[in-house]
Structure 1
């Protein structure tokens, strides 16, 4: 039974007294790190109190569950900036702390390409303030990239927010003909060629192209328009072109937005990391994915250089990854 299942079986009384701590460094043994966490959250600088239990390690990498004797202590620590420091550590480690909920079992990780936003530091500050359960860390090697981790439900809202911000950013840019921010018009032989842009989550776009291509083609071809997509990290811009009246183009855009909205609410992305695996291990993982897809036909997966991105409904994608993990004897974490 997982640590989340164990906590759930104890009843909801412990939930109000438990916090999730992300960003726990892998610098000491599990037992010693548990002691350090206990000391930290019982100290005055954390604004905490008596700790009843520390669960570390958990099924989530770098994440601990801290249960206090009193719910007031749990409420206070989530409102403070938590910095883990000790004489045994070479540096201080910022912790992301938020209240425990059963949804923690659905946890997401992502490297987000946010280079299209001009002021990344301000954006990160805003996201940290709005999405307190998500841990953000700017990349030290990739300009414009930010690593994020947190509950899937928070990720879902974060993605919607980023899509909205991207669309607003796009709308603020003047079009070459000054006709409007998201629509260009070219007159040719008394016919009007128009282009309309919309932004969507890249993983949602990939899922639709692999699993719902017929529905996508119906939304586009049914209104006699064409679509061109350009992906930039986490976001994909789709440009709809049509030599037709504006109502047909608007109808195609509306149908696509409805299709995307439904998928956006249902889908989640998980990663199977094989960056440190040799070719034989990768082959076993890929074979396990092929087998798992036969059982979970509403899930698809995409290969990258360092991992396999599993995209599908929350429950199905979770079971898909568990099946692969079991089939490969825990070769990935």
Structure 2
């Protein structure tokens, strides 16, 4: 069973941009299945479809053949069409295995870039450069929602931060950023995060020359901080570099600067590459499961937390992140599978 579970992501795609709330969920699921079974859409036999999911506008579709999943993703454009829908809706598809966390949404505040270019032109350029991402409506205040695979969100954020830094000279860029003493995200991978970060004059000048910013999925960062903090800090120390970390919802941004207390010349590029390599290694091997606590009583929530705490002692490399609406469990595929089996057994689900 574990082998079958591990192989399933190879045949699964993530679909973003589904018009949420337009139709009944079972009707929308049927429309999606019909779309992805059609040969003109490079589709084939569908084994399973998961819709709705905790992330609004997102579905998971598993095909019987891995090659069909790859063919569907390779198709340039997908447009959801049905007489029961008021219009055609463009869909964004990606392979489930491309990322440990397959769908992220950011609320970007582009207003600070108005002087650099018209925001409409900027968004048009971003759509061309990041076709895998789904862009929402650009609001008059400069805010726009962007949804898609984290790898693309990360590249987008890097591009915009560098564009921001290249246009800033004297003034500091102040954030409209929430305090993250608790996780602000709802029971979904879809959450709001601002593009704007607190950037000092000194960092702006450093970034303008070097572009030394690393954007990570927050869960990847938390896993790295929990289990590989010593390696992380030693690497920075060896490079004569310090880091400034900004957690904002689903995206954590690490900014690098020379350590004034270090006698050695700071090797910013080496530090950046080291952290990127470390994050990439985690990205390729980690998986996440979510226990929903939606609608649970306080006693039921505590029961779920106690089950996870009890099982955690047997899996020292599994990270458990409890929130008010859910519990996230992050680790390798084999650890997560066994972890969830034991938790479900303790909860009487098996």
Question: Which bin holds the TM-score, normalised by the shorter protein?
Answer: 0.5 to 0.7
Shift of 1:282: 1.8
Would you say the 8 A contact 1:303–1:309 is kept in 2?
yes
Number of aligned pairs?
294
- TM-score when scaled to structure 2? 0.58
Once residues 221 and 86 of structure 1 are traced to their aligned partners in structure 2, the CA distance between those partners, rounded to angstroms, is 61
After superposition, residues 1-333 of structure 1 pair within 5 angstroms as 5=4, 23=18, 27-28=23-24, 30=26, 36-37=31-32, 40=35, 47-48=40-41, 53-58=45-50, 61=53, 62-65=59-62, 78-87=75-84, 91=86, 94=89, 96=91, 98=93, 103=97, 108-115=102-109, 118=113, 121-122=123-124, 125-126=127-128, 129-130=131-132, 144=143, 146=145, 148=147, 155=150, 157-158=151-152, 160-162=154-156, 164-169=158-163, 171-176=165-170, 181-183=204-206, 198-201=213-216, 202-221=218-237, 227-233=243-249, 234-238=251-255, 240=257, 242-244=259-261, 247-250=264-267, 254-255=270-271, 257-267=273-283, 268=286, 270=288, 271-313=290-332, 316-317=335-336, 320-321=339-340, 323-325=342-344, 327-328=346-347
Shift of 1:211: 1.8
Q: Deviations over 1:279-298 (max 9, x none)?
A: 22221222232234323322
- Structure whose residues are more often strand by fraction: 1
Q: 3-state SS of the aligned residue for 1:219?
A: helix
Would you say the 8 A contact 1:220–1:226 is kept in 2?
yes
Q: 3-state SS of the aligned residue for 2:259?
A: strand
Would you say the 8 A contact 1:54–1:64 is kept in 2?
yes
Would you say the 8 A contact 2:235–2:271 is kept in 1?
yes
Q: Which runs of 5+ in 1 are unaligned?
A: 185-194
Q: 1:220 to 1:231 in 2, by over 3 A?
A: same
Shift of 1:245: 6.8
Would you say the 8 A contact 2:329–2:336 is kept in 1?
yes
Pairwise CA RMSD of aligned residues?
A: 5.2
Q: Which runs of 5+ in 2 are unaligned?
A: 54-58, 114-118, 172-200
Bigger CA drift: 316-325 or 205-214? 316-325
Once residues 97 and 47 of structure 1 are traced to their aligned partners in structure 2, the CA distance between those partners, rounded to angstroms, is 16
Bigger CA drift: 304-313 or 59-68? 59-68
Would you say the 8 A contact 1:55–1:66 is kept in 2?
yes
Q: Which has the higher contact order (CA 8 A, sep 6+)?
A: 2
